Amino acid sequence: MNITVVFFLGLIIALIGVVPPGLLNMTAAKISLKDGYSRGITFSIGVCIIVFLQTYIASMFARYLSNHPHTVEILRQVAFVIFVLITVYFLFIAKSSPTPNVEPHATSKRSRFFQGMFLSAINVFPIPYQAYMTITIAGFGWFMFDKMSIITYCSGATTGTFVMLYFYIFFFDKIKNKNLTSQKNMNYSIGAITGLVAIITLFNILMDT
């Protein structure tokens, strides 16, 4: 598979995962508003270093699973149920609540960098998300578990994460008072993404039957 395609697959998948307003992108946006764009960029770089490591771990886990097809089939079925439940929750059950007001106290660039690494490290969602998506695109023949492909994919995922954080840093001030950042629409965004992943999962299950 062409490494350019692998890179952009990683970029797009990471973009999708970071689109909904969450702890990392909202913190990056608020840091930029409070301390300036350069501090927000520094925070984002710290986040992306951990994202690269998390994506690499996810790819290694996915490579192991790819050698055990029966385990992958079971995980796909479990993942489908989980994604459907999450989708139903965010689209129909979750209620609006005030967006958490994250006000970091660190002010130096070094502190922002390590703060980004710390918050990204405690956000473990990218590992199962990337592991599942890596297995999925490998199932379509779009990804191979060789060293070059894995490094390229991780680089794409890191770039995609940075691009979305960059978007929040430079455009959050213009959209913060819009409905886009309301809790209700945040729930809908998350529900739509998990719903899309559930559809892809179902498609993979049906293809293997």
d(Cα 22, Cα 25) in Å, to the nearest integer? 6
Three-class secondary structure assignment of 103-161:
CCCCCCHHHHHHHHHHHHHHCCCHHHHHHHHHHHHHHCCCCCCCHHHHHHHHHHHHHHH
Terminal CA-CA length for the chain: 26
Are 171 and 40 in contact by the 8 Å Cβ rule? The answer is no
Tell me the three state secondary structure of residue 1: coil
pLDDT tens by residue, 46-56:
999 999 999 99
Tell me the three state secondary structure of residue 63: helix
pLDDT tens by residue, 73-126:
777 777 778 778 877 877 787 655 444 444 445 456 778 899 999 999 988 778
Are 192 and 92 in contact by the 8 Å Cβ rule? The answer is no
d(Cα 5, Cα 151) in Å, to the nearest integer? 13
Q: Is the pTM of the predicted complex or chain greater than 0.85?
A: no
Q: Is 36 left (phi over 0), alpha (psi -120 to 50) or beta?
A: left
Instruction: State the burial class of residue 134 (Cβ atoms within 10 Å of its Cβ: 0-12, 13-18, 19+).
Output: buried
d(Cα 194, Cα 87) in Å, to the nearest integer? 6
pLDDT tens by residue, 140-196:
888 988 999 999 999 999 999 999 999 888 887 665 555 555 556 666 766 777 787
In 3D space, the residue among 50, 2, 65 whose CA is nearest the CA of residue 165 turns out to be 50
Tell me the three state secondary structure of residue 38: helix
Token output for 157: 């995922």
Residue 95 per-residue DSSP state? P
CA 78 distance to own-chain centroid:
20
